[in-house]
Amino acid sequence: MRILFSSTPAHGHLLPLLPLARAFRDRGDQVGVLTAAAFGPLLDAEGIELLPAGPTADVLFAESGRRTGVDAAADPRPEAVADFFAGTRVDLTADDAVAAARAFAPDLIVAEALDFVGPLVAAALDVPFATMAFGPAIPAEFTDGMTALVGTRYADRGLTPVPARWHLDPCPDLLQPPGWQAPANRIPVRPEPHQGPGTNASMSTSTDADTGTDADAGVAASGERPQVLVTFGTHFSDPATLTPILAELRTVGVDLVVTLGLTASAADYDLGGSAGEGVTFAAFTPLAELLHDVDLVVTHGGAGTTLGVLARGLPLVVVPQGADQFLQAAVVSASGTGIAVQPGPDVPETVAKAVVTLRTDPSYAESAHQVAAQIAAMPTPADVAAVLSAALA
C-alpha cells in the first residue's frame, strides 16, 4: 500500500509521526511525507520519500504574524493559532500538496493533529485519512476556531470536509486533561522518544522487565552526582533564556547535559569563570540517546519530549515557553509526574528548587513510572500499522 503522512514543517510535529511511518515502511509499504523541502535530509536518512510542499515554519510564522499582528509561537492565543495552522499554512501549502499527493496516489493519509493540509488533500483525492495526536487532547477553544477557519478553505476549492476514519493517540489516559473522553474512533499507539535511523528506541536503554521504564529512574547511580538533561527543543533553545537557569542549576549539585537546538553553540553560553564544569552541551541528538543515565529532565514541555521522557519513567520540570507547552505543563503537574514552573522573574531559582524536590521526593518518580507502565501497555506502532492495513484491505 501507499501511505502518506502530512505534517506541519516543525520537528515537534513531524518527529512523533516517524515511529508509525517506519512501521509501515518496515511492512514493505511505500511511505511518503508531505511537508516542507527542508526536511529532506532527515527523511532521506530514514529511507522515506519526501513530497515537498509549502514553506518552512519561519516563513509561515512571519506571514501569520503579518496577518494577525501576533507571534503564534510565543503568544499562542486561539485566533493566532487558528490563523497559523488553519489559515496561513493552508493558503501557502494546500495547492502544491494536492498536486504532489495526486502523483503519489496514497491509499491512506495520516495527518498530525494540527496539520490541516492532509485532511484537505484527503477530501480532494477522496481517500481515507487518520489524524494522529502528539500529546494530550487540544482544548476546544483552539480546535473550534481552527475547524471554522479551515472550512472556508474547503469552500474556496469546492470541497466538503470529511471526518477522520481513525484518531491515533499516543497520549496515555493518565496524562489527558480533566473531563477528557476518548473519541469513538480512537486507536492508542505507544509513543517513543525520538531515535536515530536504524535504531530501536525500545532497546536503547536499560529497562525494567515489567514496565519498560528505566529501572533507576529518578535516582542517581551510587556515589555519583545526579545527571539532569536540559532540553528546550529545536525552536525554544534560546541561550538568553537558558543561561540563567543553567547557572542556578549548577548550584544544586547536579551535572547537566544541555541540548543546543538547531542554531545555538556552546560559545553562546556564559557560565562564569568555571564554564563547562559539570555541563555538557549536545548538538541535535535523538532524545532516546540523550536519556541514557539521566535522572530527571528540565524541559520546555514540547509534547514529543514530554511523552518520550515519561515513556522512560523519568520525572520532569516543565518550563513552558509558548505553543502547546502550557498544556503539557498542566498535565505533568496534575499527574504528579513533575513540577511546572510558570513564567516570571524567579524562574531560574524556582527551577533549581524543583530539581531538588524531584531528587528528594520519590513520589514524582513513582508517578512517572505509573505513566510509563501505561505507555508500555499501549499497542506498538507496528501493531497499529497492522490494524490499519487490515482495515484498508
Residue 22 lies in a domain: yes
pLDDT at 217: 36
Which of 226, 249, 243 is CA-nearest to residue 349? Answer: 249
310 shares a domain with 247: yes
241 shares a domain with 325: yes
- Can you list the positions of beta strands (E) in the chain? 2-6, 30-35, 49-52, 108-112, 129-132, 166-169, 186-188, 227-231, 255-259, 279-282, 296-299, 316-318, 338-340
If one counts the domains in the chain, the total is 2
229 shares a domain with 122: no
177 shares a domain with 96: yes
Cα–Cα distances in angstroms (integers) from residue 295 to residues 35, 166, 224, 313, 356, in the given order = 35, 36, 11, 10, 12
230 shares a domain with 186: no
Q: Quote the domain boundaries for residue 289.
A: 201-375
64 shares a domain with 28: yes
Residues in the chain, overall count: 393
Give the span between the Cα atoms of 76 and 27, in whole angstroms. Answer: 39
Q: Give me the CATH number covering residue 238.
A: 3.40.50.2000
Residue 196 lies in a domain: no
Give the span between the Cα atoms of 298 and 351, in whole angstroms. Answer: 8
Which of 273, 246, 249, 270 is CA-nearest to residue 259? Answer: 246
pLDDT at 199: 58
Residue 275 lies in a domain: yes
170 shares a domain with 88: yes
> Residue 282 in contact with residue 334, Cβ under 8 Å?
no
257 shares a domain with 183: no
276 shares a domain with 235: yes
pLDDT at 178: 87
Alpha helices in 105-258 (DSSP H): 117-125, 140-156, 239-249
Grid coordinates of 305: 519530549
237 shares a domain with 159: no
366 shares a domain with 235: yes
265 shares a domain with 177: no
One digit per residue, the tens of pLDDT, for the chain of length 393 reads 999 999 999 998 999 999 999 999 999 999 999 999 999 999 999 999 999 999 999 999 999 999 999 988 778 889 999 999 999 999 999 999 999 999 999 999 999 999 999 999 999 999 999 999 989 999 899 999 999 999 999 999 999 999 999 999 999 999 998 888 999 999 999 999 988 886 554 433 333 333 333 333 333 333 478 899 998 876 777 778 888 899 899 889 899 999 887 777 777 777 764 445 788 888 888 888 999 889 999 998 888 899 999 999 999 999 998 778 888 899 999 999 999 999 888 999 999 999 999 999 999 999 999 999 999 999 999 999 999 999 998
Provide the sign of the torsion angle of the four alpha carbons 234, 238, 241, 244, taken in this order: positive
For 305-324, the DSSP string reads HHHHHHHTT--EEE---STT
pLDDT at 133: 95
Residue 6 lies in a domain: yes
pLDDT at 198: 66
Give the span between the Cα atoms of 9 and 55, in whole angstroms. Answer: 8
